[in-house]
Amino acid sequence: MSHTGPGEEVAQLLRNPSSDVRALAARLAGKLDLASLRPELDALLNGTDPAPREAAEWALTQLAPNGGRGGAIVNRHGGYGGLKAHQAAEIAYDATVAFCNRFISPRSRTHDQMVQAARSGKQNIVEASAAAGISSKTELKLTGVARASLEELLADYRDFLRQRNLPQWPKDDPRAQTVRKLAYLKNRSYENYRPYVEEKEPEVAANTAICLVCQATYLLDRLIKQIEQTFIERGGMSERMTAARLRYRRESQENRTYEKK
């Protein structure tokens, strides 16, 4: 009689017709670090049900090698490669470099400031992820810096449109919806947006960039909430160190008592 391992059993649950079951299975895959299920989790990202999609997004940040395993004291860390917020910020950065090279003089301070703001949005997510294992406070602070940098960049794009009497597309504009739907593409990258930024007129290029930045800030807001929840559940490093030390003392005392019997 053949025996199915946990990976195969969870994989079956990830294909369950129930949205709630798929979401629970995705979180279980993340908690058990079932890296072999990465393709199945990637597939959930393209689904229409929000619960499994969000659970898969979280699970992918937990899988090695994107996420460090951590332990009783050090949290998982280094998982920026699997963060949708980092992916979105990286695309926004590439788009900003191309946009500024097309429409803003390299001698202008605005050119440098926009590129640096976009880079700050991306790089601070990387630094926050690296710091996550040791300090939730530092992780939260750097993620907040990334969020603020992208907000500054968003204001620059809006200024660009306003100063040229060009309209900013509302969310329900068909053109904006077309750009926003690209976020659901599997393995999306800047290449999916290149024609809009590098080949279209200034209005289209700027509004495409605004859509990208807004998506990145939305994902960062969700990431900040996740960091806060992790801190509430696991506490800070000093709390984890104290808990680990107390647990060690308790277990040592129990072992000595058992040996005397």
Which of 114, 143, 116, 118 lies closest to 128, judged by CA?
Answer: 143
Q: Are 49 and 19 in contact (CB under 8 A)?
A: yes
* Average pLDDT of the residues of the chain: 84
Token pair 């500054």: residue: 152
137-169 pLDDT, tens digit each:
788 899 999 999 999 999 999 999 999 999 999
At residue 250 the predicted structure's pLDDT band, cuts being 50, 70 and 90, is confident
pTM for the model stands at 0.65
**What count of Cα atoms within 13 Å lies in the side-chain half-sphere of residue 76?**
21
Phi-psi bin for 27: left (phi > 0), alpha (psi -120 to 50), beta?
Answer: alpha
Domain 1-63 belongs to what topology? Leucine-rich Repeat Variant (1.25.10)
pLDDT recorded at residue 37: 82
Q: Is the confidence at residue 91, as pLDDT, over 70? A: yes
29-88 pLDDT, tens digit each:
887 777 778 888 888 887 888 899 888 888 887 775 555 444 544 455 546 777 889 999
177-190 pLDDT, tens digit each:
999 999 989 889 99
